A and B are shown apart, each in its own frame.
Chain A
């Protein structure tokens, strides 16, 4: 009846996961009751959960990412604590089977449920605004994507309370992840959760590529798109080309585990190195799926706060596309030790060094954008500069690792771990924090507290160096990754410094919550009434903060690069706004519960598959199909916002804009 599921699945004998789960359940219950007592459920359901508005879906993605950041970072703290305690005679407080689950969960959650949702959330919120349009190409599918991602996150976190998580590392290499060596449900949780979230991501890729290539404001030709849109396009092309490989690979591992196939097993002619190749054909482009949009954010930030057009716009676009293509030609550098021979290793080593060239082009472009500009040192700019310093170090250690002979020496050491944290934190985390601070006023109509923002930056920046520079050294000294116990006491000082670094980052994360609450409380002091708080250059700053549901009353007509900047300068010179257009009715997509119901059935099916409850899995699939047919049967797709209502909202915008215009002069 319940497959493999019994009461033993709940960890009554392990206090850490048990107490954590109970606390988390209590917090969720408390929030639910609080929302219910305030009568906010209808609002949440109608305005957010079922929303097809790209801005709201973007915000929900970022909320998910921030919650998962806390979860993933808790894992990080536990690992750091274990490594600073379990030295020499001491065994620390985490037994190996628990420690192994923690490092696997940390990697899985940070990449799939923190970094990806954060990046997709920012792309979702910003890209249609920058293109000057009202929504993405497929608004309902956007909502479905979000809830499928949530479904994956739910299953991964459920493993804490019911059953166990994988003990295989975040990519679940076979043969360890095969049934013979991982008989429990941990790897199944991992596989099923990521399959469901992966479907959501592929749908996002379809959606965003279609949006950028087919849904842009009049006059917004390719070479006029902001660089963030270009990097979004590149990242989503990578999603389209890479994520299906991940789906195929995980499906094969599932077939091995569930039906006794022999893709990656030791017996039956299976080939576990095949898995390494396939997973990294996805895995390396994935690095750029995260990094390219972050590069886009830096481009917007550096240009805005230097008061200059981006230096070398075209070279930036070409560099982005070059990275997009070369990222598919470097996957083998993740396992030079496979023994593919000198020729193959040399080829992939050289390709890995070549990919550093377009990245270097970008760094110089940002530097030259700042050069001669009137740089304003705001929080996003802090992150941009911190990124340039940090990322160069990460890039150089990457080039070092791209040399096969060096890689053979430091393979699977803490040097490698330090390298990829260097690029992921230095580029992606700094990038999303910059983007979060930069676009927050656009989303909510007030800015985040600047002083706290700078303290948070310093926490991340200093914390990162304290936490990861010692790991580079440890890697050279021979420390391998994923050690549950440290046998050499002479490493203690390094590990202690790393622990202190993690605590500094913890302070930054706590302050991020404080900053959010404080900024909401004191929002009246920092209202953005104009819609253009940073003196921006791209179209999202043309509309109000927060933008109306339809973004733009009339789609902006784009002339030249820097669509909004051109328009602003013209208005300043002419001392008047563009002539008032004729307003028309606007059709907007209806909200729909399709996404959340689909994700409900996906979660049920996923849970049933993990625990071998086959009747429930079939019911779940039937339910999901029924929802899709039900959705396809509807007759009303859109609702109309009448022209009078549009005119009313737009006239208010024009009024504040006219007032803003009086204060502006043509920049020198």
Chain B
């Protein structure tokens, strides 16, 4: 019997018919964990897509109240956007530093990322407070309900991200660049970049289109 024949009926451990996918057996944790996290991020994006659809449906349902034209301030949003996009860049720098196992720069860039996130969040809270002060709170109309929920949900994600950054800084400090810790850092950076992607959509659909003359 030839080796191929033996393989075909399963007598040897050498697979003669390499079918491409899955022949190597289970993937390592460094593949499995970020892959699973990616799936979670995708499901999170589906959640946002429901909020976007809601916003699109209710954008003109102002109930006689203020409209997007009257409310949104492009300049403020521009600063917000720069802060968040820059934080994505510094998050990338933190990952490079982590890859080189440089504790000081990893912590430093994570800190800068967190601070930029805080700036973003601060501006957003200022915008929210300002709108509510003007009587344009989420209870005013369906449009404002949808606006506060969509943008607020992104803000809540940024807040969760900030808590995560803080936790990771403590973990990297306490445990060093262990494989499980670097996997978590990778997941954190996936999460942080995903928030950027969603923000770009919010920026376009809510603020740019909302202030088109």
Q: Give A contacts to B, CB under 8 Å.
A: 133, 137-138, 202-203, 205-207, 209-210, 213-224, 240-241, 243-245, 247-249, 251-252, 255-256, 259-263, 265, 267-271, 274, 278, 281, 555, 557, 559-560, 566-567, 569-570, 573-574, 578, 625, 629, 632-633, 635, 637
Contact = CB atoms under 8 A, between A and B. Distances in A.
Given A261-B139, A555-B25, 5 more contacts: A219-B19, A244-B44, A269-B141, A566-B10, A633-B171
A559 B146 contact: no
A210 B32 contact: yes
Nearest to B57: A274
A138 B171 contact: no
Contact of A206 (B36, B49, B63, B175): B36
A557 B54 contact: no
Contacts of A240: 39, 42-43, 46
A499 to B, nearest CB: 41
A278 B19 CA distance: 41
Contacts of A218: 15, 22-25
Nearest to B42: A240
A53 B116 CA distance: 42
Interface string B169-213: 001001100001000100000000000000000000000000000
Interface string B109-132: 000000000000000000000000
Sort A-B residue pairs by CB-CB distance and give the 7 closest, nearest first: A269-B61, A269-B142, A244-B47, A248-B50, A221-B19, A218-B25, A269-B63
Contact of A268 (B19, B32, B36, B142): B142
Contacts of B145: 252, 255-256, 261-263, 268, 270
B43 A202 contact: yes
B97 interface: no
- Among B39, B174, B180, B184, max chain A CB count under 10 A is at B39
A222 B174 CA distance: 42
B15 A219 contact: yes
9 contacts: A216-B26, A217-B25, A245-B49, A252-B54, A260-B139, A261-B139, A262-B144, A555-B26, A559-B17
A281 B31 CA distance: 32
Given A271-B58, A274-B54, A220 B40 contact: no
A559 B10 contact: yes
B9 interface: yes
B61 A270 contact: yes
Nearest to B39: A206
Given A206-B40, A219-B15, A221-B22, A214 B142 contact: no
Given A245-B50, A270-B142, A271-B61, A566 B9 contact: yes
Contact of B19 (A224, A260, A632): A224
Given A215-B26, A220-B22, A261-B149, A138 B36 contact: yes
Contact of B21 (A221, A248, A251): A221
Secondary structure type dominating chain A contacts: helix
A268 B167 CA distance: 41
A26 B43 CA distance: 41
Nearest to A137: B32
Given A261-B145, A262-B139, A243 B43 contact: yes
Contacts of B102: none
B171 A221 contact: no
A399 B139 CA distance: 42
A283 to B, nearest CB: 13
Interface in B130-164: 138-146, 148-149, 153, 163
A559 B9 CA distance: 7
B159 to A, nearest CB: 12
B70 interface: no
A627 B51 CA distance: 30
Contact of A259 (B10, B15, B138, B184): B138
A214 B9 contact: no
A138 B37 CA distance: 11
A559 B58 CA distance: 55
A247 B46 CA distance: 10
B47 to A, nearest CB: 4
Q: Contact residue range for chain B?
A: 35 or more
Nearest to B8: A559
A240 B41 CA distance: 10
A202 B58 CA distance: 27
A241 B47 CA distance: 9
B35 interface: yes
Contacts of A202: 40, 43
A194 to B, nearest CB: 15
B125 to A, nearest CB: 16
B36 A274 contact: no
Contacts of B143: 269
B167 A213 contact: no
B56 to A, nearest CB: 10
A625 B23 contact: no
B22 to A, nearest CB: 4
A181 to B, nearest CB: 18
B11 interface: yes
A240 B167 CA distance: 27
- Among B40, B43, B180, max chain A CB count under 10 A is at B43
A197 to B, nearest CB: 15
Nearest to B184: A632
Contacts of B15: 218-219, 557, 559
Contacts of B13: 557
A281 B36 contact: no
A221 B20 contact: yes
Given A218-B15, A269-B58, A137 B36 contact: yes
Contact of A222 (B22, B43, B184): B22
B81 interface: no
A222 to B, nearest CB: 6
A247 B40 CA distance: 14
B7 A559 contact: yes
A309 B131 CA distance: 65
A403 to B, nearest CB: 27
A544 B61 CA distance: 63
Contacts of A138: 36
A215 B151 CA distance: 37
Contacts of A206: 36, 39-40, 43
B44 to A, nearest CB: 7
Nearest to A141: B36
Contact of B149 (A137, A219, A222, A255): A255
Contacts of B47: 244-245, 247-248
Nearest to A282: B50
Contacts of B26: 133, 214-217, 555
